[in-house]
Amino acid sequence: MFHGGRDMRGAMEIADVVVVGAGPAGSAAAQQCALRGLRTVLIDRKAFPREKVCGCCLSGAACATLEQMGLGSVLDAQRAIAQRTVMLRAGQRSVRARLGDGRILSRGALDAAMMNAARDAGATFCDRTLATELETREDRVVLAVRDDDGVSSISVRVLIVADGLGGHLLDGVLGRRVRRRRGAIGVGTLLSAEASEIERGVVELGLGREGYVGIARVESGAIDVAGAVNPGSVRRAGGVGAVIASIAEQNGMRIEGVGEASWVGTPTLVSRRRRLGARRVFVVGDAAGYLEPITGEGIGWALASGARVAAIAQRAARCWDDGLIGAWERAHREIVRERRGLCASASALLRVPAIARAAVGVLSYHPDVADSLARMTARRFDLNLVRS
């Protein structure tokens, strides 16, 4: 694949931009960079296509971002389900809110479609390729990568890092990310179609003492289960399945097979970077920070931040200016600021079951308020994008 030597001093330049991580943020960045005429390489350590167990909801804002990118037809092509309502349960109390313009699509299908969109735009895609080390210089970034052919060193004008919650590529450049002490971890699995009777287009969220869990039926008919749980509860219960089963029981949710399921976990969900860039390096998506987003907001932030950084990367590739780091940090804040406030409030509420039950009880008497809160996730991001 890459034809550089092991010595980082003799690395060969292969692109204007290399994007590390082919999730929604990375693929969006690669697609927009390629459409702007930049020689773009997208790499991911996993083999594609690959299934990824994660939240399957795309907010209305996420769908609008795809439309702005010229990818509005992608969701229909992947048979994404229109997201009609979210059912919020807290013990014996529940409220149903109508959602605006959201869709439900498995992460495996979404990530494959986004990677193909980046490739169609002109980006080169390399899977099974792990970025292991980087060195920033005056005129370039030198990146060490490992693939099936061994270790190579490559030189690039701009590096965009979208390596997710668990990525460590930037720890030596930006320091370790700050994580919330005793914060929740993300867990997920995919169950058979018979595991729940939930209708297509409905998202059900149950709140419990140990955390919360959401379920939805994806395009294949399978049941996507994703939750945020207290690590201490997992240890005391003897496993993730037992915790999810407990939350489901507390809320009258029928989810069969959680005890025998194979679960995937994440590091602590709430995290942030003190800086979102270094010389010729920008951070996007979950790698830039994460805050237990709700109803598909996380995918919306990822797509918007990945797509938005391309304009700044284009300027950086032409002529580097240290002020571009601050420009990206301001642009990123504009994308997530108001929405993070909503999600932070919801996250704090969900961690106190008594308050959550009271809030759900109040909203059940005022469904118009619940609808308005839910539709806030459909607000479009203000982006400067190139359509495919």
In a 3-state reduction of DSSP, which class is residue 82? strand
Which pLDDT score is estimated for 101? 83
Kindly list the structural domains of the chain, giving each domain's residue range(s) and its CATH number in brackets, ordered by start.
8-72+106-180+270-354 (3.50.50.60)
| β-strands 271-272, 289-290 pairing | antiparallel
Phi, psi of 176 (to 5 degrees): -70, 145
- Token pair 């301001």 in the structure block, residue: 330
CA dihedral in degrees (35, 41, 47, 50; nearest 10)? -20
The fraction of the chain above a pLDDT of 70, given in percent, is 83
What does the pLDDT profile of the chain (388 residues) look like in tens digits?
544 444 444 556 678 999 999 999 999 999 999 999 999 999 999 999 888 877 789 988 899 999 999 999 999 999 999 988 888 888 888 888 877 788 999 999 999 999 999 999 999 999 999 999 999 999 999 999 999 888 888 899 999 999 988 888 999 888 888 876 667 888 999 999 999 999 999 999 998 888 889 999 999 999 999 988 989 999 999 999 999 999 999 999 999 999 899 999 887 776 778 899 999 999 999 888 876 656 567 888 899 999 999 999 999 999 999 999 999 999 998 888 766 666 666 666 666 667 666 766 666 666 675 566 566 665 677 787 888 7
Q: Say which amino acid occupies 98.
A: R
CA dihedral in degrees (331, 332, 338, 343; nearest 10)? 170
Q: Say which amino acid occupies 371.
A: D
Which pLDDT score is estimated for 6? 43
Determine contact, residues 64/380, Cβ cutoff 8 Å.
yes
pTM score, whole prediction = 0.90
Tell me, what DSSP letter sits at residue 238?
T
At 28, list the tokens: 């969006």
At 217, list the tokens: 């039926």
| β-strands 40-43, 57-58 pairing | unpaired
What are 213-250's pLDDT values in tens digits? 999 999 999 999 998 898 999 999 999 999 999 999 99
Burial-class residue 71 by CB neighbours within 10 Å (0-12, 13-18, 19+): buried
At 162, list the tokens: 């979208």
